[in-house]
Chain A
């Protein structure tokens, strides 16, 4: 099955459904939301500091299959053993079931559709935003929710029927978004939009539109990174703290490390990431205000 063909076909259906199913008045209200998703929509993935650092150091982001292949060569274990070790039982089975169901599935890379926030922070404070022109080189499809939960049963069968009506391609992603979030799309309150599409679970439950992109390689170079986002309050805190620490004498510094190890860890992680970002010639970390 070709996922991207299914996404393209359904995207057209969603577009037609929007044009016939929304009144002229509602289409006028929803147009700014559609425009925002179309123009500002990017693929994002949250990473913890160490994971982000590793991606930047290696200059490449690998999907789980490519990672397993690399580790297999390095460790002398089979790819399946590495995958099984990494993903463990239930999730290994579901991931393999989904990816192997589609053409080029083992080259799939996953992200979320993001229109301007710092993403799902509980998976990682740092939010990688991939460039818009990534789509010139990678086919992209969007699913209305998490692929493993929505479209893979507990017996590891892919629910093609549900998937085929809950997806869109890159050119029609805004129609998937407007159908999924109709009430918010019709709301004039723009501050709701970014968090509704991709949120951290503060309001109700975590929700996102999952993006799948591939070019046959299962990897994406860091040259495709548009920016790296961090909540503004965290960025300010780390920048301020690293300078305040310079005022401490050695004894005071040792006491700080001992009594506030969390802050010490987060500040030093921020420093390492900022340093390697500068070395790689990437844009500086962008602070994003919480909506």
Chain B
């Protein structure tokens, strides 16, 4: 049986006892989330660090964590996605060179393979707007190169689809050719441009 002695519910932090041992717990709740502490930790948490004293009991650590997560969510509702995206954009515009360097590597190796070109473009444009980038020639060139690649990749499939449609319209009666042209388009999951009409 665990006894929750104090918590900062807005952030998911807790002080609890199990028998005569005292622990502190903080997110993320995996690995070494709990550490054993002395009795002074509880007093310090309450008198100096803003934890609120509580007195609740739980069967085990899973139940305690579930309780903390629920309270955390209630005390600190997540902001709307727009706010998260806006802050991420602003964060890039003021990031320091070492952060930009790391993110550019991550963009090239991990994020570009996901082919979300329009979203990647926005991220790279934010990096480009960072004044720190202009002080680092290598990073600036890398950012420009990646942005160019995103733009190229973003335009390429649309051009191919236009070509498919044009060819389809020329030879509607040739089933095999139509099927062969249509198949890659279906696989790409692009919708046809507004106003397009397939000739009967």
- Please choose the segment from A136-144, A155-163, A245-253 that sits at the chain B interface, where 4 or more of its residues have CB less than 8 A away: A245-253
Chain B residue at minimal CB-CB distance from A53? B10
Tell whether, in the assembled complex, residue B37 and residue A94 are in contact, meaning their CB atoms are under 8 Å apart.
no
A236-247 vs B: 1/0 string, CB under 8 Å? 100110111111
Is there a chain A Cβ closer than 8 Å to B119's Cβ?
yes
Q: Closest CB-CB distance, A268 to chain B, in whole Å?
A: 6
Residues of B within 8 A of A124 (CB): 8, 11, 13, 49
Residues of A within 8 A of B120 (CB): 247
Tell whether, in the assembled complex, residue B87 and residue A242 are in contact, meaning their CB atoms are under 8 Å apart.
yes
Tell whether, in the assembled complex, residue A50 and residue B47 are in contact, meaning their CB atoms are under 8 Å apart.
no
Tell whether, in the assembled complex, residue A87 and residue B47 are in contact, meaning their CB atoms are under 8 Å apart.
yes
Choice from A64, A95, A205, A247 contacting B37 with Cβ under 8 Å: A205
* CA A266 to CA B106, docked complex, whole Å: 21
Q: Closest CB-CB distance, B47 to chain A, in whole Å?
A: 5
* CA A201 to CA B94, docked complex, whole Å: 34
A86-107 vs B: 1/0 string, CB under 8 Å? 1110110011000000000000
- Quick one: which of A255-287 are within 8 Å of B by CB? 257, 261-269, 271-272, 274-275, 278, 284
Is there a chain B Cβ closer than 8 Å to A224's Cβ?
no
- Quick one: which of A200-239 are within 8 Å of B by CB? 200-202, 205-206, 236, 239
Q: A261-B69, A261-B73 are in contact. Are A284 and B81 (CB under 8 A)?
A: no
Tell whether, in the assembled complex, residue B123 and residue A253 are in contact, meaning their CB atoms are under 8 Å apart.
no
Q: A123-B45, A201-B36, A262-B69 are in contact. Are A275 and B87 (CB under 8 A)?
A: yes
Is there a chain B Cβ closer than 8 Å to A45's Cβ?
yes
Is there a chain B Cβ closer than 8 Å to A153's Cβ?
no
Q: A240-B103, A263-B28, A284-B96 are in contact. Are A271 and B91 (CB under 8 A)?
A: yes
* CA A278 to CA B43, docked complex, whole Å: 33
Residues of A within 8 A of B102 (CB): 236, 239-240
Choice from B37, B72, B78 contacting A206 with Cβ under 8 Å: B37
- Quick one: which of B16-30 are within 8 Å of A by CB? 24-29
B97-124 vs A: 1/0 string, CB under 8 Å? 0010011001100010010100110110
Is there a chain B Cβ closer than 8 Å to A184's Cβ?
no
Tell whether, in the assembled complex, residue B47 and residue A148 are in contact, meaning their CB atoms are under 8 Å apart.
yes
Choice from A47, A148, A246, A250 contacting B122 with Cβ under 8 Å: A246
Tell whether, in the assembled complex, residue B84 and residue A149 are in contact, meaning their CB atoms are under 8 Å apart.
no
Q: What total count of A-B pairs have CB within 8 Å? A: 165
Choice from B39, B49, B79, B119 contacting A48 with Cβ under 8 Å: B49
Tell whether, in the assembled complex, residue A274 and residue B91 are in contact, meaning their CB atoms are under 8 Å apart.
yes
Give how many B residues have a beta carbon under 8 Å from the other chain's beta carbons.
61
Tell whether, in the assembled complex, residue B119 and residue A247 are in contact, meaning their CB atoms are under 8 Å apart.
yes
Is there a chain A Cβ closer than 8 Å to B137's Cβ?
no
Chain A residue at minimal CB-CB distance from B99? A239
Is there a chain A Cβ closer than 8 Å to B64's Cβ?
no
B29-48 vs A: 1/0 string, CB under 8 Å? 10010011111111111111
Residues of B within 8 A of A88 (CB): 46, 53
Residues of A within 8 A of B49 (CB): 45-48, 51, 123-124
* CA A42 to CA B87, docked complex, whole Å: 31
* CA A211 to CA B49, docked complex, whole Å: 15
Residues of B within 8 A of A90 (CB): 43
Residues of A within 8 A of B122 (CB): 246
Choice from B10, B11, B44, B103 contacting A243 with Cβ under 8 Å: B103
* CA A267 to CA B47, docked complex, whole Å: 27
Tell whether, in the assembled complex, residue B116 and residue A247 are in contact, meaning their CB atoms are under 8 Å apart.
yes
Residues of A within 8 A of B29 (CB): 262
Residues of A within 8 A of B81 (CB): 250, 253
Is there a chain B Cβ closer than 8 Å to A125's Cβ?
yes
* CA A253 to CA B78, docked complex, whole Å: 12
* CA A47 to CA B195, docked complex, whole Å: 57
Choice from A48, A240, A244, A250 contacting B10 with Cβ under 8 Å: A48
Known: A122-B26, A242-B91. 8 other contacts (CB 8 A): A86-B52, A124-B49, A240-B106, A245-B84, A261-B72, A262-B28, A268-B79, A278-B90
**9 contacts across the A-B interface (CB closer than 8 A):** A47-B49, A50-B76, A94-B47, A122-B25, A149-B38, A149-B39, A239-B102, A247-B120, A268-B84
B interface residues (Cβ-Cβ under 8 A, vs A): 8, 10-13, 24-29, 32, 35-50, 52-53, 69, 72-73, 75-76, 78-79, 81, 84-85, 87-92, 94-96, 99, 102-103, 106-107, 111, 114, 116, 119-120, 122-123
